[in-house]
Every structure is written in structure tokens, then in C-alpha cells.
Amino acid sequence: MTKARKALIEIITEAEAPLSAGDIHVLMEQRYDLATVYRGLNYFEKQGTVESFTFSCSREGTERYYYRRAHPHTHFFHCASCHRFISLGTCRLQDLEHQLEADHDVAIQEHTLYFTGLCSSCRD
Ligand SMILES: [Zn+2]
Ligand SMILES: [Zn+2]
């Protein structure tokens, strides 16, 4: 594995919240160009180590965010005021999935879900 990819996967693994390619670029102290960051992200996503989702907010616009894949996966909360992502811990939707599968006669393979609102400091 190249040095750049090693650094990249370390940053994503240690992060508590999803990161954009721009965030990662900054965290890598810009030692590698943005194109290298994107190539690395594509590599890890194809490999299944990293997952991503597209999210829009008033400050960052539409952006893709990357995080380490885990089983069961984690859900995130985005604060609409300070634009932080907060981890909500591991997914607790298995029961809902089973119910939906039974109700609609489908086999669910995955779901994407995030929450938005105000964090505790912005609510006060
Ligand atoms: Zn906030
Ligand atoms: Zn889930």
C-alpha cells in the first residue's frame, strides 16, 4: 500500500465523524494533492473498507462524506447550526428492517439514514 493510502485509511479509521475529501486533505497536512486523496477514497470504497454518503447543508453545500465501514454500521447526526457530525452509535434498525421485509415482501440489503437538527450546544 502506498504511503498516501496508509495515511488516508488511518485518518478515516481514527475519525469519529464522516469526513469530506477536503477535510482529509487538510488532515493530511496537504502532503498529497486532492486527486491522490480522491483516488485513495475510490480505492478503499471499491474494496469495501470505506463507505460514503452525499449530504447537503447550508454551509458546505452538497458534499460527499467518507467513513470506515463497520458491522453493524453507525448512524450520524448533523447539526444544522455548527455543521458538526455526531456519531449516534451502532444501527438499531434491525427490527424495523424485519418488519418492513415482512410487510412488503422484500429483502432489504442496505439502508442509508442520517439525522439533522441542533446539537446540545446550539440548542441553548
Ligand atoms: Zn451545533
Ligand atoms: Zn442502519
CATH of domain 3-123: 1.10.10.10
Q: Among the listed ranges 1-5, 45-49, 70-74, 98-102, which one has the minimum average pLDDT value?
A: 70-74
The predicted pLDDT at position 70 comes to 87
Give the distance (Å) from ligand 2 centre to CA of residue 72. Answer: 7
Give the distance (Å) from ligand 2 centre to CA of residue 71. Answer: 10
pLDDT tens digits along 11-28:
999 999 999 999 999 999
Q: What's the rounded Cα separation, in Å, for the pair 8 and 109?
A: 28
Give the distance (Å) from ligand 2 centre to CA of residue 21. Answer: 23
pLDDT confidence bin for 123, thresholds 50/70/90: very high
The predicted pLDDT at position 1 comes to 82
CA angle 123, 12, 2 (to 5 degrees): 160
DSSP 93: -
Q: What's the rounded Cα separation, in Å, for the pair 120 and 82?
A: 11
Give percent above pLDDT 90 in the chain: 85
pLDDT tens digits along 70-109:
888 889 999 999 999 999 999 999 999 999 999 999 999 9
Alpha helices in the chain (DSSP H): 3-14, 21-27, 34-47, 94-104, 120-123
Task: Tell me the domain boundaries of the chain.
Answer: 3-123
Share the mean pLDDT of the chain. 94
How many CA within 13 A on the CB side of residue 93?
18
Give the distance (Å) from ligand 1 centre to CA of residue 120. Answer: 7
Which-ligand-closest: CA of 85? 1
First-to-last alpha carbon distance for the chain, in angstroms, is 46
Which-ligand-closest: CA of 109? 2
